[in-house]
Structure 1
C-alpha cells in the first residue's frame, strides 16, 4: 500500500509540475484507481517515447537517402536544386509534397499507385459512412421532433396536474377545517349532553319519561296493535254465532277476556305515553 501511495504521489507531482497537487481522500479505492492511472500513463509515455525515437530514426534515414540522391544527381547527371528551372523546381516540390501527404517512402510510380488506391478506397468508405450518418441523422431528427412533441404534451399534463393538485389541496384544506369545526361542535354538544344528564340525575328525574323510553314504549304499542289484529279476525266468526251453544259461548268469553286484557294493556300504555 505504501509503495502504491509513493508511486501515485510521484506521478501526480510529474503531472502537475510546479502547480500544487489537489487534495483528495486517501483510501484504498482512490489509491488503487490513481495507481492504475499512473501505470497506464507511464505505459503510454513509454510507447510515445519509442514512437518518437522511431520517427527520429526514420527522419535520419530519409535525410541520409536524400543526401545520397543529391550526390548521385550532382555527380552522375550534374543536376542540383539550384540549377533546376522554376517549373521543374515547382514540379519537384509538388512531387515531394504529394509523397509526404501519401506517406510513401519514395516518389516512384510503384509507391504512388498503391497509395492513391488506398486513398480512393478510404474516400469511398468515408462517403459510404457519410451517407449512413446522414440517414441516422435524419432518423434522429425525426425522433427529436417526436420527443419534443411528447415533452410538450408531458409539460402540459404536468401543468394541468399541478393546477388540479392545487385545487384538490384547497378543497382538502377546506374539508379539514369543516371536519375540525364539526369535531369541536360534537365535543361541545357531548359536553352539553353530559352536563344536562348530570342535572337531570341531580333532580331525580324518572328515566321512564326520557325520549328513549318513550320510543321503546311506542314500539311496544305498535307490536301489541299488530298482535290484536289477528285476534280480532279470529273472534269475528264467533260474534255471528247463536248464543245457545255452550261451547261457542265459552270460546267467545275466552276471546273477550283476551281482547279485554289486550285493550286494557294498550290503554295503559297509551295513557302512560
Structure 2
C-alpha cells in the first residue's frame, strides 16, 4: 500500500497539472513504477547536489575575482574600466583560451599543461588522420580494381547473353526443322502405307518390286561374268577349219551353251 501511495505521489509530481494517465494497477506495474520513482529521486538528488556544488564554485570564483580586482585596484591602481582597448582584448582572449582549454585560472602552471595536452591530442589526431588516409588510398585502389573487375564481368555477361540469344535462335531453328522433318516423315509414312495398301489391293507381283529388280540385275551381272570365260574357251576353236567333224561338234556344243546363256540373259533383261 505504501508503494502505491509513493508511486501515485511521484506520478503527480512528474505530470504536474496534467492528469495522470490511467494504467493497470498490479504488482508488476507497481514494482516497475516504484523502481522508476526511486531512480528519479536519486537522479534528482544528484542533480541538486551538482547544482549546489556549481553554486558554491560560482561563489568562490566570484570571491576570487573580487579579491583579484581589489589587488589590482589597490596594488597597481588598475581596474577593468581603466584598461585600454588592446589590453582588454588581450585579457578577453586570455580568458577565452582558458575557457577553451578548460583550466581553473590563466597562470602558466595551468595553461602550459593544457596546451601540451592539446598539442599531444593534435599530434595523435594527425597520426590517426595519416593512418586513415593510407587506409583510404588502399580502399580507393581496391575500389578501382573492383570497378575494373565489375566492368569486365559485365562485358562477359553481355557476351554470354548475346551468345545465349544466338544459340537459342539456332535451337529454335533446329526445333522448327525437326518438326518439319517429323511432319514430313509422318506424311511419307502415310503415303507409303497407302501405296502399299493400293498395291496389295491390285494384287501386285512382288517379283517386280525394286528389291526383286535389283536382285535380277545382280544375277544378270553374274551371268555376264560367267559368259566371259566361256567366250575365252571358244576363241581357240574359232580359227579351226570347218572340215573336221570333231571341231564342228565342239563348236556346236559351245554355241548351244552360249545361246542358252544369251537366251537366259535376254530373258532376264527383258523381264527387268
Is 1:99–1:107's contact at 8 Å kept on the other side of the alignment? Answer: yes
Instruction: Quote the residue 1:176 is aligned against.
Output: 175
Aligned length: 189
Instruction: Quote the residue 2:157 is aligned against.
Output: 158
**Shift in Å, 1:125:** 1.1
Is 1:73–1:80's contact at 8 Å kept on the other side of the alignment? Answer: no
Q: Does 1:67 align with 2:48?
A: no
Unmatched 5+ stretches in structure 1? 1-41, 226-266
Distance (Å, rounded) in 1 between the aligned partners of 2:152 and 2:129: 34
Distance (Å, rounded) in 2 between the aligned partners of 1:181 and 1:207: 33
Distance (Å, rounded) in 2 between the aligned partners of 1:112 and 1:57: 27
**Shift in Å, 1:98:** 0.9
Change (3 A) 1:208 1:117: farther
Instruction: Quote the residue 2:196 is aligned against.
Output: 197
Instruction: Quote the residue 1:85 is aligned against.
Output: 84
TM-score (normalised: structure 2):
0.53
Report which stretch shifted further, 174-183 or 86-95.
86-95
Q: CA RMSD in A?
A: 4.3
**Shift in Å, 1:182:** 0.9
Map 1:250-261; keep pairs closer than 5 Å. Answer: none
Map 1:121-136; keep pairs closer than 5 Å. Answer: 121-136=120-135
Which runs of at least 4 in structure 1 moved beyond 6 Å after TM superposition? 270-273
Change (3 A) 1:170 1:75: same
Report which stretch shifted further, 118-127 or 65-74.
65-74
User: CA offsets, 1:29-61, max 9 Å, x none?
Assistant: xxxxxxxxxxxxx9xxx9xx88x9598667545
Distance (Å, rounded) in 1 between the aligned partners of 2:207 and 2:147: 79
**Shift in Å, 1:193:** 1.5
**Shift in Å, 1:141:** 2.5
Is 1:74–1:80's contact at 8 Å kept on the other side of the alignment? Answer: yes
**Shift in Å, 1:146:** 2.2
Unmatched 5+ stretches in structure 2? 1-35, 223-263
Report which stretch shifted further, 92-101 or 56-65.
56-65
TM-score (normalised: structure 1):
0.53
Distance (Å, rounded) in 2 between the aligned partners of 1:124 and 1:139: 23
Is 1:70–1:80's contact at 8 Å kept on the other side of the alignment? Answer: no
Q: Does 1:138 align with 2:137?
A: yes
Distance (Å, rounded) in 1 between the aligned partners of 2:169 and 2:89: 87
Distance (Å, rounded) in 2 between the aligned partners of 1:131 and 1:68: 47
Distance (Å, rounded) in 2 between the aligned partners of 1:89 and 1:197: 129
Change (3 A) 1:57 1:210: farther
Distance (Å, rounded) in 2 between the aligned partners of 1:148 and 1:157: 14
Change (3 A) 1:121 1:205: same
